[in-house]
Structure 1
Amino acid sequence: MTDIVDDNAPASTPAVEPAGETLKFSTTIIPGEFLLLSLKNGLLNLITLTLYRFWGKTEVRQRVWRGVRLNNEAFEYTGRGMELFIGFLLALLVLGLPFLIIVFAVQFMGPEYAFLVILPFYLFFFWLWGFGVFTAFRYMASRTTWRGIRFQLKGSATEYGFTYIGLVLLSGLTLGWTWPWAERLLASKIWGELRFGDRKLRFRTERAEREGIYGPFAIGWFGTIVGYVLFAVVVVGMTFGMAQTMPTSTEPGALPPIAFMLTLYGLMLLAAPFALLIWSPYQAAILRSVAAGVSLDGASFRLKVKAIPLWWLTVTNLLVLLVTLGFLMPWVQARTSRFIVERLESTGEAELAAAHQATRGPGSGEGLADAFGFSAI
């Protein structure tokens, strides 16, 4: 029996590959809208002896993430304050236990053998710092979604910690001259392991190296030496001048006069903007270099940040935090986020629609980052 063919039946449709998208970043963040939130968080931190900061930080992130848009669709932060609090408690355990071991070991062994315990702890501290940086990024990635798809950070925090401690020691041996290379290498181990769902981002070192970083680093390195010399000359001259005009104390070990200490701290405060200024070309260059190395499918990135605007942002942020005793931290974070997003561009296309959902990630927050005080936002 012959098969009957229906000429009106629809033909099978071949699978359509997801179309690539050009990535366009924009922001709706208005720093002024964070002023009341800053006041609320500051007051609640005072009342709760800073325990509210985990929930306050979560609310700040939620607002900042919503204000960052990719192709006019907002990001979303899904983390919770309780996760950050639990992470902090775990970090206290990780940091407190080794410290107690050192205290008891020194008492048992005697001060002359203290270095046998302190040196390993010193190395462990640097490893823990690197470990904390990686886990902080991993947590924030896992709590960041776009179009309902989570980000995730693969790789090993343990390996990152060992890499970090090795690069820190190498930088010390080379008087800091290997640190620009090390900083770019550390960035590659984070951005090269980041995924949007199951879509892998890549870090292309050859692209990152097109942005020169050693020239700006040399400006900061030699400028720091010159600045230290000038500062020492001013302090010595000030000390000599005050010694000539003030009566000599007859008490051995007398403390410096209050006027001298206030003047010294005032000079340090005045010197801080200049110190930040000579390092601003390097800070801008390393940001541009890292951004240039990141790619997703056929899309590459560019961060159009220059030294003077970055320096002004940093100086004014620090001044605001100093004057307000840290109360306006959310305002500073919103302002900084807007500054970065406004200067972020992309060329090429990425197949965002082909991304599949990622696992949720760690159950607790970046406790070590909070304990060390280096959480990004």
Structure 2
Amino acid sequence: MTDETLPAPEMLAPAGETLPVTTSIRGASLAWITFGNTLLSILTLGIWSFWAKTRVRRYLWANIQIAGDPLHYTGTGFELFKGAIIALLVLALAFVPLSFLSAAGYGGAAGPIQISTFLILTPMGMFYARRYRLSRTEWRGIRAGFSGNVNDFIMRAMGVTVLSLFTAFLFDPLRQAYVDRYFWNHSYFGTHKFRSTFKVGDFVYLYVIAWGLAALGIAKGLYEFGPAILLGFTNAAAGESGFQMKGISLLSVFLSFGWVFPIALLFYALYRIAYWRALVTATHFDTVSAKSRLTAWNFIKIIAVLIPCFIVFFAGIIALVIALFASSKIQGGLEWWVFGFLLLLVLAANLFISGLWAWLWTAPLVRVLVRTTEIEGTLDLAIIDQSTLPSPGRGEGLLGAVDFTG
């Protein structure tokens, strides 16, 4: 888009009215994009995955509209590829010497250093990934941006992460809230800054209940079935046939403590919904504020379609495999064509699963998050200049390498 084609700055809405946030994302379209990306990634042994991620982002960004104008993602697959190469070099420089140290008999020292390295690299990857994504996001020709001190963020993020780990994730909401609040407080649209008043204190009790139920289930399971589990490992080590726990049935496990985990998962899901709703509502930009109307019912409608479809899909795969084995004459091993067919089946299943997931989960999830978000207030684009914040030339390869939480 050239300067001549840019719309003139204007007041987007009169005071008190809601700026419409809409989306035209279609599950079938995203499924075909994901299907093609998965196929090309398999054929290129994973190299296409960087361009695949770019294609998905461009589609999602372009189909989210604010006040009738879509977002634009300007990143490229090659930038993500460069980021991944640099990430591999960073990880090699960090961990290859530690491997030699461990091989030399200093494994006790190498372990803590490896953990510390991950604690440093993970927030670093998150920081630069946020900066890259925002620098490649535009609306009405104005670029978003991200500022902040990476060293300050790393130290604080490490602190709350260690606190979360040492409390068995009881304080994990504190870590999540710090990261999200920091990111929004250092995000920009053009020359103007976002502001976040986010806090988790009003609904953290949902997480505490989920955590408490999970801890109760684990403790009860270890107390009642720990000796049987230990005996099973002891018998297996003594040479008995396989790992066995006599007298223990799945029903007895469920009646004893297994029932608490579905309830814990339910409370955690409610916590995540409340978390998102509060995070969006606490986000402000100049005189504009966001608000989320997300509810549990929005997710129930998605899951009610997702789960039955995947059950039918996997049931069909299992039935096909059973029929395949039943028709094969096994004499000392499977026939060669059976292995070939199973390999093709796995590849085909991977393709269809990626497409189904995009159709039945990713697209509906993004749609509901967008449609339940409202933007209230007025925005005068005449006072917002183009961003002058740094625009990195590579993507978030380090984040993909070290951030296992996604």
Q: Give TM-score scaled by structure 2 length.
A: 0.74
Q: Answer whether contact 1:130 1:160 (CA < 8 A) is retained.
A: yes
- How far residue 217 of structure 1 moved from its aligned partner, in angstroms, is 1.3
Could you tell me how far apart the structure 2 residues matched to 1:98 and 1:126 are?
12
Structure 2: distance between partners of 1:357 and 1:31: 34
Match of 2:213 in 1: 223
Runs of 4+ in 1 over 4 A off after TM superposition: 229-240, 248-251, 269-275, 311-324, 373-376
Query: How far is 1:314 from its partner?
Result: 7.0
| Pairing partner for 1:39 from 35, 39, 45 | 35
Equivalent residue, structure 2, for 1:371: 401
Kept after mapping to 2: 8 A contact 1:273/1:315: no
> Which sections of structure 2, spanning at least 5 residues, go unmatched?
1-8, 315-348
**Aligned match of 2:331:** none
Q: Can you give the 5+ residue segments of structure 1 that lack an aligned partner in the other structure? A: 1-16
Give the structure 1 partner of residue 335 of structure 2.
none
User: CA 1:66/1:86 → structure 2, altered by over 3 Å: closer, same or farther?
Assistant: same
Alignment of 1:256-275 (within 5 A): 256=243
1:343 is the counterpart of 2:372: yes
- Cα deviation digits, residues 118-138 of structure 1 (max 9, x gap): 212211201211111121111
1: CA distance, partners of 2:302 / 2:265: 11
Instruction: Tell whether the 8 Å contact from 1:211 to 1:289 is kept in structure 2 after alignment.
Output: no
Aligned CA distance change for structure 1 residues 73 and 333 (closer, same or farther; 3 Å): same
Alignment of 1:42-191 (within 5 A): 42-108=38-104, 110-111=105-106, 114-191=107-184
Is residue 2:381 matched to residue 1:352?
A: yes
Give the aligned length. Answer: 348
Task: Report the aligned-residue RMSD.
Answer: 3.8
With 284-293 and 176-185 compared, the bigger mean Cα shift is at 176-185
User: Amino acid of the residue matched to residue 218 of structure 1?
Assistant: V
Percent identity between matched residues is 27
Alignment of 1:284-299 (within 5 A): 284-299=273-288
Number of the residue aligned with 1:14: none
* Cα shift readout 1:41-94 (whole Å, capped 9, x = no counterpart): 111111111111111111111111111000011001111000001100111111
Report the AA paired with residue 127 of structure 1.
I
8 Å CA contact 2:288, 2:378 repeated in 1: yes
Please tell me the residue identity of whatever aligns with 1:364.
Answer: R
Matched residues in 1 for 2:304 and 2:90: separation? Answer: 34
Alpha-carbon contact 2:213-2:261 (below 8 Å) kept? no
Correspondence for 1:300? 289
TM-score (norm 1): 0.79
In structure 1, how many angstroms separate the alpha carbons of the residues matched to 2:96 and 2:259?
40
Partner of residue 202, structure 2: 212
Contact in 2 for aligned 1:123/1:165 (Cα 8 Å):
no
